[in-house]
Amino acid sequence: MKKIGVLTSGGDAPGMNACLKTVVEMSYNYGYECIAFRMGYKGLIENDYYKITKDDVKSIFNLGGSYIYSARSKEFMQDEYRQIAVQNIKKSGIKALIVIGGNGTYLGAKDLSDLGVNIIAIPATIDNDVHSTESSLGFDSAVNNATDMIDNIKQTMQANERISIIECMGRYGGNIALYSAMASQADIVAVPEDPLDLEHIYRFIADQIKHGNNSPTLVVAEKQYDVFKLAKDIERDFNHECRAVILGYMQRGGAPTVKDRMSAIRYGVSAVECIDAGIMNVAIGLKNDKIVTTPIAEAVKMHTNFRQDLYDSFKLLNNPRNKA
């Protein structure tokens, strides 16, 4: 029986399990046996795989995390271990390997493709920084989670007239921060695509307090500031209570949204269809809500998908740098 391999790699994202379930079911529908590699590329190196069946995945569609586990592998960055992975893939007898993950996963997929492995890549990362698609699995879920938490934090901060600094995940991008700031009607957003220095932040806070907002909300993407130090500095310099909150892994866990579930089905179906049609070494994505494929070699070097238009709209509404 012909075989398809599948793995999830990097940080887990809501929708991975929904996509895995779809891949497994489609594989058997098309006459393939499906084998799952545990712990991403680590599983390739250690030859840790098993036959995964429809019964195995029948109850995972609405679950967060990854049923077959996910990991980042430093060893896989070394050529000698990639060669071991390739040999193990060949021994497994699979026709193609479906990798589900983010941009780091795509770089690994490109390396495997260069070494002769047939690859299909599916975007799954809450950071939405896979540039060959408009929407990666997990992003919508993470934004919804973050928005709900920011809404709740704003309510308690307003009750106590406290300034709040809320840090979102995003790795090196500002997508989660931007979308959740807009959706929660935060007062300012700080993203790495347009860094804000302390002067801008202070001017913003002073302007908000001057106009009667004694509990302004700052949403920031991670890796920009030490938010706890920033909160202490603001409290000292403004003589006004300020609290910092890091949302962290609460954004990444939990059930996927309807949008992520639907995308997971579409990506999984398309991946197996591509393999059956002999279309290999491509990344599956969405453009204008239509499935597209991009050569994996191109997918890893495409430009950022940060929504500058949305950010510009947010600045026009809230950013004091645009005020006369």
**Which of the residues are catalytic?**
127
Cα distance between the two ends of the chain: 70
Which amino acid is present at 92? Answer: S
Which amino acid is present at 81? Answer: Y
Whether 274 contacts 284, CB under 8 Å: yes
For strand 32-37 and strand 49-51, is the pairing parallel, antiparallel, or unpaired? antiparallel
Write out the H or E segment, with its range, that includes residue 144: helix 139-160
Whether 311 contacts 324, CB under 8 Å: no
Give the closest residue to 119 by CA, choosing from 138, 100, 103: 100
Helix axes 79-92, 103-114, angle to 10 degrees: 70
Q: How far is CA 56 from CA 2, 122, 173, in A?
A: 19, 21, 35
Whether 285 contacts 292, CB under 8 Å: yes
Q: How far is CA 192 from CA 127, 175, 206, 246, in A?
A: 13, 10, 23, 17
Distance CA 122, CA 8 (A): 9
Task: Please give the full DSSP string across 73-112, using - where no structure is assigned.
Answer: -SGGGSHHHHHHHHHHHHHHT-SEEEEEE-HHHHHHHHHH
293 pairs with which residues across the strands? Answer: 284
DSSP code of residue 208 = H
Distance CA 107, CA 82 (A): 12
